[in-house]
């Protein structure tokens, strides 16, 4: 059994790369500073659980970010598949029935409910017919998800402060949409700096392209770790 890497688990690096080989090479490159990695839909479709297992065998923690959203029975069967793998965190869309189904079969994995995707802006929200604010929607979904058995939530860093104040100190709050002041926002609409997200109450920041696309990914990761102190 490999010994876990003892690094700052507040930083999760998103391995949003097309193949397992590229992802594992990136993880190994970042290993001097990073011990927690996210496997998303693109990478999972290439390699399945094998890439998660390979990361775990290296002693890394793994977040499997597939955002399960289906009828409760299907979600329950999907999350049951995690039992044979060393997955620290997984994600589901924040609807009570979906969360409750995942919570029943998750085993040792913590379930995080996605509140509002970071690519969604005010204009897109208005198009759905929802009259409240993004913060209101994130709070409502977070409350319902935690009541249904979620261990925490995924939200943009702009909602992290309000959710932390409202939900208290216990739940996990993981925030994608992390960008330094000089980074391009890419397809993220609601972003904040690493330090701002942690100060707002995030327990984990999820960072992909600002690290993996940097000329020196390890240096970029170390810069973020220094920023969050």
- Which residue is catalytic, options 61, 67, 104, 110? 67
110 is catalytic: no
Contacts of 200 (CB under 8 A, 6+ apart): 157, 160, 161, 164, 192
Q: Is 71 exposed, middle or buried (0-12, 13-18, 19+ CB in 10 A)?
A: exposed
- Terminal Cα-to-Cα distance of the chain (whole angstroms): 30
Active site residues: 67
């Amino acid at each position: 059994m490999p010994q876990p890497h003892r690094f700052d688990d507040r930083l999760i690096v998103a391995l949003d790369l097309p193949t397992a080989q590229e992802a594992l090479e990136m993880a190994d490159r970042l290993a001097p500073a990073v011990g927690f990695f996210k496997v998303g839909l693109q990478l999972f479709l290439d390699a399945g659980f094998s890439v998660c297992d390979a990361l775990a065998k290296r002693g890394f923690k793994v977040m499997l970010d597939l955002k399960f959203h289906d009828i409760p029975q299907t979600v329950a069967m999907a999350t049951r598949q995690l039992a044979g793998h060393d997955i620290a965190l997984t994600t589901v869309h924040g609807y009570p029935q979906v969360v409750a189904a995942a919570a029943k079969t998750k085993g040792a994995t913590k379930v995080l409910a996605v509140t509002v995707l970071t690519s969604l802006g005010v204009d897109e929200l208005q198009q759905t017919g929802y009259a409240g604010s993004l913060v209101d929607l994130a709070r409502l979904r977070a409350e319902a998800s935690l009541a249904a058995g979620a261990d925490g939530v995924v939200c943009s860093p702009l909602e992290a402060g309000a959710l932390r104040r409202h939900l208290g100190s216990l739940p996990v709050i993981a925030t994608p949409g992390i960008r330094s002041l000089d980074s391009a926002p890419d397809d993220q609409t609601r972003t904040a700096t690493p330090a701002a997200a942690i100060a707002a109450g995030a327990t984990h920041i999820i960072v992909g392209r600002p690290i993996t696309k940097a000329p020196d990914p390890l240096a970029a990761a170390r810069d973020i770790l220094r920023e969050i102190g």
